[in-house]
Structure 1
Amino acid sequence: MAENTSTAETVRVTVAEDRKSTPKGGGEDQNTATMGATAIKMQKLVAFPLMIISFLLSLPILFSVIWLLYMRHYDCENLLQLPKLQVGIVAGLVVVFFVSNIAVFLRSRLPMPALILVMVPLIVMLTVGLALVGAYKMESRSIPGSPMWLKSKVLNDESWNNIKSCIYDTRTCDDLIARSYMLKSYDFTTTKLSPIESGCCRPAANCDMVYVNATFWRKGNGVQVDSSTPYNVDCDLWTNDQTILCYNCHACKQGFLITIRGKWWKLGVFLVIMAIFLIASHLLLFIVTMWEHYGG
């Protein structure tokens, strides 16, 4: 009997220990499951804002497409075939807008193909933007719209003959005369002129010429206003003939170049900034997606 009693007590102790140990193991599994659920929740909380940010970053691209489509071309810009480049950039931006949002939609199902799909047009967009701001120096001579390309076109004599005829046909200098007809010499010198008006419609400031009106100046005594300033060859090119004025002057070419280059430089800066932000956004979204799939 004693042996049976001892055996029964041993069984009861073993069962009791098993019951105590079972809840303990279940608690560890429950804690692990809770931590996993929390991690997944955190991942989703990070991924959703990134998806929203990627979408919001694509909206300025859409707005820039509308702006480029309805923006008036600068006078004589068509002579350099820049409107065709503008249409090409518009088409590329439309592709970037749709591809960016498609990649966001596909990111959970096909993360790697989605990343590759969006990175190709974004890298092209970044490359074009860098070219337009002049990041490639000598290489950009062959890239339409880049500063070096614009300079080579404007300074080319054959191209400039067409451009200066176009500037004359726009009656820019005639409009300046009408706008400043009643101004005296001092008032005219303080008037803010556009780069083309300043370079093409009037002589250089150091030519020592006497103001009559906006496009008619009498030559002075031939003494430079500032003797420390090198003689300006544009002074010899200036004439009061309304069909010539300073259209052959270097200042006129620079004025036209500044006007055209400003537009394309700003567009290049926009493309670079948007490409960098979108690349960063999609890379972060890809990392979070990989974390969701394999990190938990």
Structure 2
Amino acid sequence: MAVSNNIIATINFIALICSIPIIFTGIWLASKPDNQCIRSLPWPIIFLGVLFLLLALTGFIGAHWNNQGLLSFYLFCNAALIVTGIILLILAFIVTHPSGAYSVPGREYDEYRYMGYSEWLREHITDPENWRSIKACLASSSICSKMVRDSYTAPQFFNARISSLQSGCCKPPTVCGYQYVNPITWINPTNPIGDVDCIIWNNDPNQLCYNCDSCKAGVLGNLRKEWKEANVILIVAIVALIFLYLIAFNAYKNSQAGPKK
């Protein structure tokens, strides 16, 4: 029994240490400039890391003090967390699979189509109430203004790798035919087309294309990219939980069986 408990305690001590990078990954995502206006992504990762830490701590304490009730609770929670993680992973892949990104001739950066993203993302991230706060945050941030500080010429800008937020929110869509002055200042075309975003665009730094569907698409494009990265963390966490569960369950079963006579 002592050997089995030592195995459970050891692997959960390792898991305890491994949970710290997951928590810090969530904090890192929250601190990235592209995510400062969208707070819905980092918290699930931080929450997962905290659950991982608490679970590992429970297993370590239960094994170290040979508390069979705590070990049983640990195994139950571990199994429940594995199932929950798999469900979340499947849902995340379904929600983030459609992409509204499309290439534009003569441009290194992509542009983004709002209707190209999943209905769930469109409804839950860019609904009117959420979008008001996201739009206000974008307008007060340096996401667009910092492009002006880079002093792009037109060819340099068209060949730059700008983010989805900058592509969708800081400039008019290429199809509108606006003439480049600087990344956030464009001259109206002589014969503008009927695209709604082309009419909405405004050179006012507080407005730009923050009211455009292309800006919403840029936000969703950024969110999709970050979720794809977060899915990798989730996959690693689930594999680790399954590994921990199998070892801990086998050790727990051996400890329950007791020494052979």
Distance in 1 of aligned mates of 2:156 and 2:210: 24
Deviations 1:98-132 (A, max 9, x none): 1232354467x73x862442331552365156426
Distance in 1 of aligned mates of 2:202 and 2:90: 36
> Structure 2: any 5+ residue segments left out of the alignment?
96-117
For 1:157, the equivalent position in structure 2 comes to 128
Matches within 5 A, 1:84-233: 88-89=47-48, 91-105=50-64, 110=68, 114-121=71-78, 123-124=80-81, 126-128=83-85, 130-131=87-88, 134-135=91-92, 151-179=122-150, 181=151, 183-220=152-189, 222=191, 233=196
**Cα distance 1:84–1:191, how it changes in 2: closer, same or farther (>3 A)?**
closer
Structure 1 position 165, deviation (Å): 1.4
> Structure 1: any 5+ residue segments left out of the alignment?
1-39, 139-146, 225-230
Q: Secondary structure at the match of 1:282?
A: helix
Structure showing greater radius of gyration is 1
Q: What's the TM-score, normalizing by structure 2?
A: 0.68
- Alignment RMSD (CA, Å): 3.9
**Cα distance 1:133–1:270, how it changes in 2: closer, same or farther (>3 A)?**
farther
Structure 1 position 199, deviation (Å): 0.7
Q: Is the 2:12–2:56 Cα contact (8 Å) retained in structure 1?
A: no
Structure 1 position 189, deviation (Å): 0.5
Distance in 2 of aligned mates of 1:121 and 1:232: 52
**Cα distance 1:171–1:208, how it changes in 2: closer, same or farther (>3 A)?**
same
Distance in 1 of aligned mates of 2:119 and 2:128: 16
Q: Secondary structure at the match of 1:77?
A: coil
AA matched with 2:221: I
Q: Is the 2:12–2:57 Cα contact (8 Å) retained in structure 1?
A: no
Distance in 2 of aligned mates of 1:274 and 1:202: 39
Is residue 283 from structure 1 mapped to residue 225 from structure 2 by the alignment?
no
**Cα distance 1:148–1:284, how it changes in 2: closer, same or farther (>3 A)?**
farther
Is residue 60 from structure 1 mapped to residue 42 from structure 2 by the alignment?
no
**Cα distance 1:129–1:72, how it changes in 2: closer, same or farther (>3 A)?**
farther
For 1:10, the equivalent position in structure 2 comes to none
Distance in 2 of aligned mates of 1:133 and 1:232: 36
For 1:26, the equivalent position in structure 2 comes to none
- Equivalent pairs counted in the alignment come to 233
**Cα distance 1:59–1:241, how it changes in 2: closer, same or farther (>3 A)?**
same
Q: What's the TM-score, normalizing by structure 1?
A: 0.62
Q: How many percent of aligned residue pairs carry the same amino acid?
A: 22
Q: Is the 1:130–1:136 Cα contact (8 Å) retained in structure 2?
A: no
